[in-house]
Amino acid sequence: MRNNDIDNLPPDQCGCGCTSVQDKAAVGILKPIHKYDPLSGDNAQGPAGAKGGLAALDNIGCDCGSAACSTPAAYAPGFDGAGQTRVGKYIGYGKENWELLLSFLVFFYGLFSGLENMSRFFVFAFAYILIARDVFADAVQGLFKGRMLDENFLMGIASLVAFAIGEYAEAVAVMLFFQVGQMAEHYALSRSKKSISALLDIKSEFANIKTPFGVKKVNPDDVSINDIIVVKAGEKIPLDGTVIAGNTNLDTSAITGESLPAAVQKDSVVYSGSINLSAVIEIRVEKDYASSTVSKILELVEKTNQNKAKTEKFISRFAKVYTPTVVATAVLIAVFPTLLLAEPFAKWIYRAAIFLVVSCPCALVISVPLGYFGGIGGAAKAGILIKGGNYLEVLKNVGAVVFDKTGTLTKGNFKIDRIDTMNSYTKEEILCISAHLEGFSNHPIAKAISDKYSAVINEDDVKEIKELPGKGVKGLFQGSHAIIGNQAMMDEFGVKVPLRNDQGTILFLAVDKVLSGILSITDEIKQGSAKGIAELKEAGIEQVVMLTGDRDNIAQSIAEKLGITRVYSQLLPHEKVEKLEEVMENVGKKQVVFVGDGINDAPVLSRADAGIAMGALGSDVAIEAADVVLMTDEITKVAEIIRISKFTSQIIWQNIVLALGVKAVIMVLGTVGIANMWMAVFGDVGVAIIAIINSGRAIYFSKSTG
């Protein structure tokens, strides 16, 4: 298809009725994706195409009964998604907003109008019924669902007590500010979830595939590898691939966190989820949808809520014990002084009501998960995906960071620097045999050899190919036994090789146990690796270690350039695990992080306290085994996620100390008669709002704030 054919696609291809590519880009050519609406509760189809939409995610959470706890787990990890009907109330412009506004007006009229006796009672009763009926409805619903002591129950009982003893204004105030607290919770959740929920919108709902009969719109799942797809200006790239025609700029911010557009042209590799900004391009698909970048990201995001931090789990357990304890204490405060000291019942039941209001654990059970959620969202904005709050918590106390070398600290873009011939073999023959042996391996060095060999590999020339991890490849080439690999490979097969001190990777080729040639292969240190190591040291990391299967002289040379003082070289995959465990023993109670990218790194990533995979170029196996994925492969991101973790932890503990401290003081003051209901309202709703606002800071982390 010619470019002008692409420009003249039928208008209904984009669903907007415009007549040119430029017009389509201007108005936005994608149809709205029907997805979960956290305010209306509509959940017919999740944007990730998950079974049952986002509601299919596990809901693991608290028992506080907060309306915010009805937010689906994908948006608010750790919150209970069951049993609340007030989802989204007072957000928007529905009748509930007018009820809240009317209640406030009636409340202030009752306060300042000077009404007395029955007139005052009826004014406050009207305001109370208007604002409290849904709270009581939810409290009753909670009773039937086994949540007897949720915050609706506590607030309902406390406000009824206040109303019964004639404290009408304070009873209405409890309910009004309780509802304002719900608004604050919803608003904070809505703001903090944006970075993560934005990731849920990166999936394209269609792909324009080229066929012999023209361009056809299909589901991305129906596109196969090597198919050609057309992506117009304004569209999202539906699948990973290589550009074969056209030049454009891409918005990759949802994938990498990078705000600047990326220029692409023919032969550029592009990732699904990126947005085409300027011109039509054609892409050869390299991965099916299930293996594409966007699919992997969505899978990681959907699993985020399943891994709760220890602090988060502790707060949930604490709330289950704390709430019944304070309710029992409130009963004792109301009853004992009256029975034992003959004190007025009205005085002590009022103090008990104060105790109930201030005791509500909402500030804790909402702000702590929200803090972790904000930290995960802040990391997502920077192109860092974290699989759960528990991993974010681990990263706050790191004693050592262990790096793989190839593909992590170095580019992994190997090239043959020199070929030395031996025993009458020519360079062309050495390269031919090497390429045929390595042609079936996906190792970066094998790719360097294949790239150097320009001729076609004849599969009939090679048989019985077998790769020995960490050593090399053996097989039959034109009937002769041939091996290619490192010195350990040669030693295993009894081939004597000369000692070499090249500042690169050395591969030896032997045919029928006779050394035939030596290939010197070089790699290049990634830009930013030295800076990333320096930032880790600035962040207080005590040990920075490098593990590699490469020769010691190469490893030491790389480590010296990067400022790494502890190096383990010439390691097989299982030996990397052993060395990692040595490091873990030496850091005491602190945590050890491993950063890698290759298939051979998967066991080490799984064994470390937290594994970080280089996501953009890393293998699928490594990404699956890791706990954190860096979408841009930048080493500086390792220090950044550690700073985000520490910053998030500070916020969470600030909230815990603030909530428990203020509540404890007001509980004591209320019991001895110094605090009133207004102070109790501040101790509950006011502290909750402060804690929620504080938690929201986690999503706006920057190096200066951390």
Q: Would you please indicate which residues are annotated as catalytic (active-site) residues? A: 404
Taking the C-alpha atoms of residue 11 and residue 503, their distance in angstroms, rounded to an integer, is 59
Contact in structure between 469 and 441 (CB atoms under 8 Å): no
The end-to-end CA distance of the chain, in Å, is 52
Angle between helices 362-381 and 310-341 (to 10 degrees): 160
Contact in structure between 81 and 61 (CB atoms under 8 Å): yes
Compute φ and ψ for 270, nearest 5 degrees: -125, 150
Give which of 73, 380, 388, 69 is closest to 196, Cα–Cα: 380
Helix, strand, or coil here: 245? strand
Angle between helices 687-696 and 636-671 (to 10 degrees): 180
DSSP state of 457: P
Retrieve residue 373's tokens. Answer: 């959620």
Give which of 648, 653, 658 is closest to 688, Cα–Cα: 658
Which distant-in-sequence residues (6+ apart) come within 8 Å of 689 by Cβ?
180, 181, 184
Taking the C-alpha atoms of residue 637 and residue 703, their distance in angstroms, rounded to an integer, is 11
Taking the C-alpha atoms of residue 342 and residue 347, their distance in angstroms, rounded to an integer, is 11
Retrieve residue 529's tokens. Answer: 């690796």
Q: Which residues pair with 214 in a beta bridge?
A: 211
Contact in structure between 591 and 399 (CB atoms under 8 Å): yes
Helix, strand, or coil here: 177? helix
Q: Where are the beta strands (DSSP E) in 397-500?
A: 398-404, 415-421, 462-468, 472-477, 480-485
Q: Which residues of 410-430 are buried (b: 16+ CB within 10 A; e: fewer)?
A: bbbebebeebeebeebeeeeb
Half-sphere exposure of residue 396: CA atoms within 13 angstroms, side-chain side: 20
The one-letter amino acid at 29:
I
Instruction: Show the DSSP H helices in 342-486 as ranges.
Output: 345-359, 362-381, 389-394, 427-438, 444-452
Give which of 246, 305, 302, 301 is closest to 276, Cα–Cα: 246
Q: Which residues of 494-531 are buried (b: 16+ CB within 10 A; e: fewer)?
A: ebebeeeeeebbbbbbbbeeebbbbbbbbbeebebbbe
